[in-house]
Structure 1
Amino acid sequence: MNSLSRLFASLHEDLERQLSITRESLRHPSAKGDESESIWLALLQNYLPTRYRAERAQVVDSEGRFSDQIDVVVFDRQYSPFIFQLGNQRFVPAESVYAVFEAKQSIGPREITYAKKKICSVRALFRTSLPIPHAGGEYEPKPLTPIIGGVLSLESNWNPPLGEPLRKALETNDPMSRIDIGCIASRGLFHSRDGAQTFEFHVGCKTAARFLLRLISELQRIGTVQMIDIMAYERWLVDDR
């Protein structure tokens, strides 16, 4: 007999198994990191609605500024007019971004600090927002949508893995570097509510599936990204050779 609980468990077990095999089998840190990122990307690419896309990328704004390299960028693909690609490197316009994640084999204080810096490099970019035309005229420009920031890993370096030391590391007075959600596949999930500094911790119990449901719920709450001013990028059509 089919069981939804068993389906959720299988989804989680498959992710944790792949991450564990990568950690045990690959010796080179870069190869191990790349494969871990690919596993998380595959999860999101397989299960997020098709209006979203998940890729390793840099984010760029209309003022010509770039974010750090981001392990996982969740962005709009239904309304985004362009995504740059140079070889294997992708560049996503800042207006299209819904969420960014740093992926690690294991997280501790250093990884949390690093993730905050990466998230801040995206949130600090300039985003345009145009009025939205409709049959009777136009709506006011949509306020900028919040960009979700998170961390993804197999393990935690803390003891306990999800507890007060992690909660303290997540605290920040800077909303630009705030971490909103984290999935530690072998241990559990944490997330904040409405950008507050209050975190909920969920230990164990089909962690990957819980993370997916939580992320999709947050994306539903955000709705659609603002309408990009595509012509704001036109000024970069200059010969700078």
Structure 2
Amino acid sequence: MKRLRRYFIAGLVVALPVVATLWLITFLFKKLPLPPEELINKILGGGIPLWVAALIYRTFILISFFVVITLLGAFTTRTVGAKITYFFQKLLERIPLFNRIYKALHQITSALFGPGRNVFHKVAIIEYPRRGIFTLVFITNDTEERFVKNINASFDIPENDKSEKFLNVFLPTTPNPTSGFFLILPVNAVKILDISVEEALKLIISGGAVRLDESIPEVENA
């Protein structure tokens, strides 16, 4: 019975991501709007079942979307395209109210998908929420110098505990690592782990149930 249970769970782990991906694609596929039936018959010549026409039309829309996005990316990476894109970005940033939304979304997409950008640079471990309890975090960037100066000047920090360097870290939640907390920590409070971001995400999503290997990861100062 235990073996059957283990086999079932192993199959579930393999099948769930596939099923979830297919479900999401199907859901988005069905949400695509359809033109009137008369227009479909006119374009495709008539005599085709409506469900076949709908399948062809939606497939065409999806392919067209990916082609347009790819061509847009190719255009913006060229010198002329980059200049035109920069001009329109600056124009959008001048529109009141709209500019705040646009800037926020632009920063998020650039951080997540921009070339050469990696939101999570390294995996680290910190003492949180109290001493003796540890949690994984992702280092996202060095803290800006102006913030460091304000922290050291504004808070009653013992001279020995003051740090010239702070780190921006993201503390993810389990099992959904897309939500979490943004923390600013002194560099000596952050210990870098010798594991990849992907391995850390597996641990977080599984609640620590997944074993990466039998060895203990090396720890070094940030």
In which range does the TM-score fall when normalised by the shorter chain? under 0.3
Q: Which has the higher contact order (CA 8 A, sep 6+)?
A: 1
Q: Tell me the TM-score normalised to structure 2 length.
A: 0.21
Which structure dedicates a bigger proportion of its chain to strand? 1
Q: Which has the larger radius of gyration?
A: 2
Which structure dedicates a bigger proportion of its chain to helix? 2
Q: Tell me the TM-score normalised to structure 1 length.
A: 0.20
